[in-house]
Amino acid sequence: MIVCVCKSVSDRKIRASIEDGMDSFDELQFELGVASCCGKCAESVRDVMMQSGVCASRCGFEHHPQAVPLTFYERKAA
């Protein structure tokens, strides 16, 4: 699913990038462009990072048990 609508970046692409060694929010932002336009995807990107095992100190997000579930946006075909 698309996490960053502005840059058309999917959760799969974020996970692949993490597996390739990008393990900080800043790296993902620089390399993929996530959260660099409207910024609304930042929390979802951090959630994907946490689910991929990136520790809170690298994604800058503390996990809370009552955290709001992931919100994904889907792009409709024109």
Which residues sit at the interface with ligand FES, rule CB under 6 A? 4-7, 34-41
Q: How far is the CB of 27 from ligand FES (least distance, A)?
A: 16
Residue with tokens 């709001």: 68
| Nearer CB in complex with ligand FES: 4/54 | 4
CB nearer to ligand FES: give 16 or 73: 73
- The beta-strand segments (E) located in the chain are 2-4, 9-10
Nearer to ligand FES, 23 or 43 (CB): 43
Count each helix (H run) and each strand (E run) in the chain, helices first. 4, 2
